[in-house]
């Protein structure tokens, strides 16, 4: 059984002060609504680096609410280990403080910071080689979707972004995030999301074999919220969600966990 993942992508949001208020409300919500029930999912917070020390300090406490793993992750990193790369963060630095996961290749990195498939491929390579888990984002824009080229596009991203051999299904997580659904309030229908996640799994199967592909977790992301999460999570190939806007609201985060409780 692939354990579901609820992953918050906080992007360039949340100061430390805001984060402390977030968790005051979030913990109260969980204590009131869940009593001693642990939610059966992994829970990840992908934050900006200024929040890492605080988030790591409350990780054990958060662990009391979920049966799966609580993870604090980065939203980006660079593939070299050290050197003259002003402004960058290395895998070694992250691992040294207890962070073992990072989003790689989010569409905002691709579009605004001009990261190309070659750069993203190198980042994924570096993660895998260093026992660090990349949460690789793929997904088409509206124009490609309207022209019907979305599968070809995503296949090409997978080809170029995953160049190393994956040996363990937990070495990587993939998120299908159609650009037209990110931050727009337009969630892909659960059927469209499922169709692409199933397709991604079939691509993984042809690259790495059936056994491995069946255990890799594939998330959907793009305007996921309390209204849509349950239907998305009921689909056989959707193993969780990468959540932006709604994850900034502690009550919505709590409600989403509640929605998937059974
Ligand atoms: P959204 O963002 O939930 O605000 O659409 C998702 C993401 O970009 O990961």
Whether ligand 1 lies within 6 angstroms of the CB of 178 is answered as no
Whether ligand 1 lies within 6 angstroms of the CB of 242 is answered as yes
Q: How far is the CA of 188 from the centre of ligand 1 (A)?
A: 12
Q: Assess contact for 62 and 54: CB atoms under 8 A.
A: no
Whether ligand 1 lies within 6 angstroms of the CB of 225 is answered as no
**Among the atoms of ligand 1, which is closest to the Cα of residue 222?**
5
pLDDT at residue 27 tops 80: yes
Average pLDDT value for the chain: 96
User: What local confidence, expressed as pLDDT, does residue 35 receive?
Assistant: 81
Which active-site residues does the annotation give? 106, 177
**Among the atoms of ligand 1, which is closest to the Cα of residue 184?**
5
Whether ligand 1 lies within 6 angstroms of the CB of 183 is answered as yes
Q: Assess contact for 95 and 126: CB atoms under 8 A.
A: no
Average pLDDT of span 160-188: 94
pLDDT at residue 29 tops 80: yes
User: What local confidence, expressed as pLDDT, does residue 262 receive?
Assistant: 61
Whether ligand 1 lies within 6 angstroms of the CB of 9 is answered as yes
Q: What angle do CA 242, 2, 132 make, to 5 degrees?
A: 60
Using CA atoms, how far residue 176 sits from 96, 126, 135, 170, in Å, is: 29, 21, 10, 17
Mutate to test the pocket of ligand 1, among 104, 107, 224, 225 (most ligand atoms within 8 A of CB): 224
pLDDT at residue 34 tops 90: no
Mutate to test the pocket of ligand 1, among 9, 12, 44 (most ligand atoms within 8 A of CB): 9
Give me the half-sphere count of Cα atoms (radius 13 Å) on the Cβ side of residue 149.
9
Q: How confident is the model at residue 36 (pLDDT cuts 50, 70, 90)?
A: confident
pLDDT at residue 60 tops 80: yes
> pLDDT for 105-134, tens place per residue?
999 999 999 999 999 999 999 999 999 999
pTM exceeding the 0.75 threshold for the entire prediction: yes
Beta bridge partners of 45: 8, 72
> pLDDT for 228-251, tens place per residue?
999 999 999 999 999 999 999 999
> pLDDT for 95-110, tens place per residue?
999 999 999 999 999 9
Using CA atoms, how far residue 50 sits from 46, 98, 259, in Å, is: 12, 14, 30
Percent of the chain with pLDDT over 70: 100
Percent of the chain with pLDDT over 90: 92
Q: What is the dihedral of CA 136, 171, 219, 37, to 10 degrees?
A: -140
**Among the atoms of ligand 1, which is closest to the Cα of residue 223?**
5
Residue tagged 């960058």 (tokens): 88
Helix H, strand E, coil C: the string for the chain is: CCCCEEEEECCCCCCHHHHHHHHHHHHHHHHHHHCCCCECCEEEEECCHHHHHHHHHCHHHHHCCECCCEEEEECCCECCCCCCCCCCCEHHHHHHHCCCEEEECCHHHHHCCCCCHHHHHHHHHHHHHCCCEEEEEECCCHHHHHCCCHHHHHHHHHHHHCCCCCCCHHHCEEEECCHHHCCCCCCCCHHHHHHHHHHHHHHHHHHHCHHHHHHCEEEEECCCCCCCHHHHHCCCCCCEEEECHHHHCHHHHHHHHHHCCC
Average pLDDT of span 186-192: 91
Which has the minimum average pLDDT: 35-39, 52-56, 135-139?
Answer: 35-39
């Amino acid at each position: 059984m692939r354990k579901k993942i609820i992953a918050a992508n906080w992007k360039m949001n949340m100061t430390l002060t805001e984060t402390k208020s977030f968790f005051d409300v979030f913990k109260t919500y969980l204590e009131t609504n869940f009593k001693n029930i642990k939610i059966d999912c992994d829970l990840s917070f992908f934050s900006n680096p200024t929040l890492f020390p605080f988030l790591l300090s409350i990780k054990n406490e958060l662990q009391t609410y979920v049966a799966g793993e609580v993870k604090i992750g980065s939203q980006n990193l660079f593939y070299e280990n050290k050197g003259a790369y002003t402004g960058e963060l290395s895998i070694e630095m992250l691992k040294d403080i207890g962070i073992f996961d990072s989003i790689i290749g989010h569409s905002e990195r691709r579009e605004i910071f001009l990261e190309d498939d070659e750069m993203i491929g190198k980042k994924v390579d570096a993660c895998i080689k260093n026992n660090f888990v990349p949460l690789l984002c793929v997904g088409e824009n509206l124009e490609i979707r309207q022209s019907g080229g979305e599968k070809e596009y995503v296949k090409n991203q997978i080809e170029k972004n995953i160049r190393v051999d994956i040996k363990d299904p937990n070495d990587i997580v993939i998120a299908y995030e159609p650009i037209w659904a990110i931050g727009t309030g337009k969630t892909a229908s659960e059927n469209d999301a499922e169709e692409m996640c199933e397709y991604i799994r079939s691509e993984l199967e042809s690259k790495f074999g059936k056994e491995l592909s069946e255990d890799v977790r594939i998330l959907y992301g793009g305007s996921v919220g309390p209204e849509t999460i349950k239907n998305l999570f009921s689909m056989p190939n959707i193993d969780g969600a990468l959540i932006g806007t709604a994850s900034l609201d502690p009550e919505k985060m709590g409600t989403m966990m509640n929605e998937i409780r059974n």
